[in-house]
Amino acid sequence: MATESIEIASLPRTTTTAVRLRGAQLADRLVVGFFGLAAWLVLLVVAALFVTLAIAAWPAIKTVGWPALHSALWDPNNGKFGVLSFVFGTLVTSGIALLLAGPVGIGAALVLAEVAPKRLAGPVAMLIELLAAVPSVVFGIWGLFVLAPVMRGAIEPALARTLGFLPLFQGYFFGVGILTAGVLLAIMILPTIAAITRDIFEAVPAHQREGMLALGATKWEVLARAVIPYARSGIIGALVLALGRALGEAIAVAMVIGNKPAISASLFSPGYSLASVVANEFTEATGQQYLAVLVGIGSLLFVLSMLVNVAARLLVWSVGRSQSAARA
Amino acid sequence: MLARMKRPLSGVRTLRSRQSWSTFMIAVAWLCAGLAAALLALIVLYAIRRGAAALNLQFFTHLPLPVGIAGGGVANALIGSVEIVLMASLFAMPVGIFAGIYLGLLGRGKLAYSVRFLSDVLTGVPSIAIGVFAYTIIVVPTRHFSAISAAVALAIIMLPIVVRTTEEAVRLVPAAIPEGALALGIPTYKAILLVTVPVARAGIVTGALLSVARVAGESAPLLFTAFGSSFWSPNPNTPTSALPLLIFQYANSPYRDWQQLAWGGALSLIVLIFAINITARLMFRRMAVR
Amino acid sequence: MIAGRTLSAEKTLQTEHLTAYYGSVCALKDVSMRFEAGAITALIGPSGCGKSTLLRCLNRMHEIIPGTRVEGEVRLDGKNLYDPAINATEMRQRIGMVFQRPNPFPTMSIVDNVLAGVRLTNKLRDRTQLQELAEQSLRKAALWDEVKDQLHRSGTSLSGGQQQRLCIARALAVEPEVLLMDEPASSLDPISTTKIEDLMRELKGDYTFVIVTHNMQQAARVSDYTGFLLAEESTPGHLIEFGTSSKIFTTPKDKRTEDYITGRFG
């Protein structure tokens, strides 16, 4: 039998619903043109975003320039615009968040997708998706009034007692600071990680599990050796997306990080982040240069999170492609 | 854990030890799930407790009062939020839905590919950067903060969500539907707009509602666009208060009365956003035709 | 309206050297055949032989799949359907199609499904005429008695067999001359299949039917003429033999046809 024709006969029918307009009438062309215009408009918005931010940040790049990235001295009133402490705060808080929320989120997703009975997992998963929609300002106010006092009164002292030999956990207990911001970010990205990785686990085909079970594997071995490896790149994609969200978070971080442009070895001490300095100082900025530098910081954030996102998309796409190729 | 994965299934370790390891690890995973659920539940429950104490009729009907005077409400912020989100929807939804239909049913080639990719990228842009953008293109030239500039910022955040959910929704319609219409001699554009797109309406409406829920809670892009106000702002061309903005500003204030209002605002925001989310999901289930 | 009309010989549908491609792959090669007006012609052959592709070329549904291409001619009334001056959309109102799986429009009620064709082409607007047309079409499709009390329910609420008859009614409502059926009963139970076959026998004369089927008993039962297509090692799908069904199924001339109808391959 001619296998070629079997393949192509089944190929185009399932891949797309797109309808081509050969011999299309004027009305068809008008409609397509009109809808295409909307698509162009989306492109235009993104392009405008790029160009505007670049133009607005240009004076800052020109006057303050790259040295700003090496300096932590932030004294706008005296023309000192070192942004290193903001970069430090952003990276460290996001790192802490990912470190804490990653394992917990993946563990929770494993339970919801693989272990828990469906009757329990369904509602809990729905709840977690709902919680992913809680606005960051709500997390912020909770962090300020609940988390920060708990950190100061209980968690930071406990950390100092047990791990105090590390410089990370020495110094005064402020309550607001790098660690608190990291923990709050962790709680914020937790539902995102759990919801996405749960979907990824659910997409792992049953034969992967059955094959491992048939080898006499225990329940955990099925998860650790069949399910997680199969979903690995998807999980990484989810983590990178969550990281992107943490990097760009302005409001919640501004409420608990302490807003002090300094770099300290202690995680207890107050700090600042790229997004939160823009949030806090933008409307108070006096002088063209100050404002331009803040726009520049916004653009830096934009570039940073875009790199992270593009990396994540490429990762997820390549995984999707290789997996669908494997299935076909 | 990685090293353990590399070991052969039934090597040195006895079945018994493997089984207890399995039980232990699964217990740890349960602990993670419990921790996640408990933490998040805690936050919402706490917000309900603190917020409920702030809610009364005055909260919804009055303007905020100056420091030192008890009472007052956030009516202007509620109205402002609704006004800004409505305007944003007005800007974003027609463009987003049309572009989504284009991507899903009409477009192929470079334009469709670029829009798809850039929408995905736009989803990940920090909202504060979008606020800076709206400030630069609207607030700076007009020389004043305004609800309109805030709506533009929120519309840009909504846009990629609407585009991609619409695209997904129309893509899920089986090819048999437009084919059936074409085979009846129905013109292509009608086969797409009047037959195929309606089949996807549940998905489109759900996506639109979820995008509203997403931006209704945004505060960062409002900081230097809507700016906030203690008064009514019937003119969309003037500084306007919004709920998330008010929560941020009042929570950071040293006054208990204002903090109280902030908690009330937080609770109202949670209720509003959950309501939109749940409505969207229920509607999807009810309307979805397969 | 159309009851009692007769299809003249000029209304015959025929192909001339029809060749069809998916991208660079040729799925159908050089098919020239006539479909007798008012008769039922069956296209049979194993999977991948190009019979569905041939059918979809007959009302230019093949070309809506991206990357496809057609060479040769399809003639109705002696006019080439692939002539650039021909409007494919209008042409499809004369050559209707029923698909393998029933595809009622899910958002429309039963009656709206039936009337979708005339409404969306603005052919008919008068309410009473529309009602009449809906009833007439549903009666022809032998569905009226089953649905007359629930015309405003969703088309997807019907059973599979009823849905397929709804799709036939929908196709009939635009008053086509030719009706193309792409394995119309392959997803249905035997009783529904019988109903659809009965329907075709009743309607032939008023309509020209072309039916693709992999079920040879069905082809033998309902069709007047049969064409056998086959794709072989080096050649894409092409027409092996064509003739009256009684001849093809009793005394095929070609060895390959005989092998196929006696179940030796495919």
Signed CA dihedral, B144, B148, B154, B155: sign only: negative
As a whole number of Å, the end-to-end CA separation of chain B is 43
A321: pLDDT confidence band, cut at 50, 70 and 90? low
Q: Which of A17, A30, A45 sits opposite B156 (nearest CB)?
A: A45
Per-residue confidence (pLDDT) for residue A9, from 0 to 100:
26
- Give domain limits for chain B: 61-287
Q: Angle of helix C160-173 relative to helix C127-140, nearest 10 degrees?
A: 130
pLDDT digits (tens, 9 = 90+) for B200-229: 888 899 899 999 999 999 999 998 887 877
Residue B119 CA: distances (Å) to CA of A313, B111, B112, B289:
11, 12, 11, 27
Structure tokens at B274: 């959950």
Q: How many residues does chain C have?
A: 266
* Cβ–Cβ < 8 Å for C105, C113: yes
φ/ψ of residue B11, rounded to 5: -100, -120
pLDDT digits (tens, 9 = 90+) for C166-208: 999 999 999 999 999 999 888 888 888 898 899 899 998 899 9
Q: Using alpha carbons only, how large is chain B's radius of gyration in Å?
A: 25
Per-residue confidence (pLDDT) for residue C3, from 0 to 100:
44
Nearest Cα residue in chain A from C86: A23
Paired strand residues for C76? C13, C79
Average pLDDT for A23-31: 72
Pairing label, strands A80-81, A74-75: antiparallel
Residues of A in contact with B183 (CB under 8 A): none
Pairing label, strands C208-212, C40-44: parallel
Q: Which of C93, C96, C99 sits opposite B179 (nearest CB)?
A: C99
State whether A282 and B132 contact (CB < 8 Å): yes
As for the ipTM of the complex, it is: 0.86
Residue A314 CA: distances (Å) to CA of A94, A198, A319, A321, B166:
21, 20, 8, 10, 22
Which chains does B contact via 3+ CB–CB distances below 8 A? A, C
Q: How many residues does chain A have?
A: 328
Residue C8 CA: distances (Å) to CA of C38, C76, C79, C206, C225:
9, 12, 15, 10, 18
As a whole number of Å, the end-to-end CA separation of chain C is 43
Between CA C102 and CA A90 the distance in angstroms is: 56
Give the lowest-confidence range in A57-71, B18-32, B37-51, C63-77. Answer: A57-71
Q: Which of C61, C107, C121 sits opposite B199 (nearest CB)?
A: C107
pLDDT tops 80 at residue C85: yes
A288: Cβ contacts below 8 Å, ≥ 6 apart: A59
Look up residue B236 and give its amino acid. P
A38: pLDDT confidence band, cut at 50, 70 and 90? very high
Between CA C43 and CA C214 the distance in angstroms is: 8
Interface test with B, best of C89, C156, C167, C210 (most B CBs within 10 A): C89
C4: pLDDT confidence band, cut at 50, 70 and 90? very low
DSSP state of C13: E
Residue among B81, B119, B114, B82 at smallest CA distance from B97 = B119
State whether A35 and B170 contact (CB < 8 Å): no
B288: pLDDT confidence band, cut at 50, 70 and 90? low
Pairing label, strands C238-244, C225-230: antiparallel
State whether B182 and C103 contact (CB < 8 Å): no
Q: Domain B61-287: what homologous superfamily? A: MetI-like (1.10.3720.10)
pLDDT digits (tens, 9 = 90+) for B223-234: 888 787 777 777
Average pLDDT for A151-174: 81
Q: Angle of helix C127-140 relative to helix C110-120, nearest 10 degrees?
A: 120
- Give domain limits for chain A: 81-327
Structure tokens at B173: 């319609």
Per-residue confidence (pLDDT) for residue A4, from 0 to 100:
25
pLDDT digits (tens, 9 = 90+) for B15-46: 778 888 888 888 898 999 888 888 888 888 99
pLDDT tops 60 at residue B1: no
- Give domain limits for chain C: 104-175
Between CA B205 and CA B216 the distance in angstroms is: 16
User: Count of A–C CB contacts within 8 Å?
Assistant: 57
Residue A192 CA: distances (Å) to CA of A189, A230, A231:
5, 20, 16
Between CA B221 and CA A37 the distance in angstroms is: 27
Per-residue confidence (pLDDT) for residue C265, from 0 to 100:
62
Question: Considering chain C, what percentage of its residues have pLDDT values greater than 90?
Answer: 40
The domain defined by A81-327 folds into MetI-like fold (1.10.3720)
Per-residue confidence (pLDDT) for residue C6, from 0 to 100:
52
Average pLDDT, chain B: 85
φ/ψ of residue C41, rounded to 5: -110, 130
Helix (H) or strand (E) holding A100: helix A84-110
Interface test with C, best of B108, B182, B184, B188 (most C CBs within 10 A): B184
Nearest Cα residue in chain C from A10: C48
pLDDT tops 80 at residue C99: yes
Question: Considering chain A, what percentage of its residues have pLDDT values greater than 90?
Answer: 23
Question: Cβ of A250: how many Cβ atoms within 10 Å?
Answer: 31
The predicted model scores a pTM of 0.84
Q: Measured between CA atoms, how close is A325 to chain C, in angstroms?
A: 20
Neighbouring C-alpha atoms within 13 Å toward the C-beta of B42 = 12
Q: Which of B32, B126, B196 sits opposite A302 (nearest CB)?
A: B126
Residue A151 backbone zone (phi > 0: left; psi -120 to 50: alpha; other: beta): alpha
Average pLDDT for C100-118: 91
Q: Measured between CA atoms, how close is C124 to chain B, in angstroms?
A: 13
Residues of C in contact with A4 (CB under 8 A): 25
Q: Using alpha carbons only, how large is chain A's radius of gyration in Å?
A: 25
Helix (H) or strand (E) holding B23: helix B15-54
Question: Considering chain B, what percentage of its residues have pLDDT values greater than 70?
Answer: 94
DSSP letters of B174-197? Answer: -THHHHHHHHTT--HHHIIIIIIH
Q: Measured between CA atoms, how close is B198 to chain C, in angstroms?
A: 7
Pairing label, strands C79-80, C68-76: antiparallel
Q: Measured between CA atoms, how close is A3 to chain B, in angstroms?
A: 24
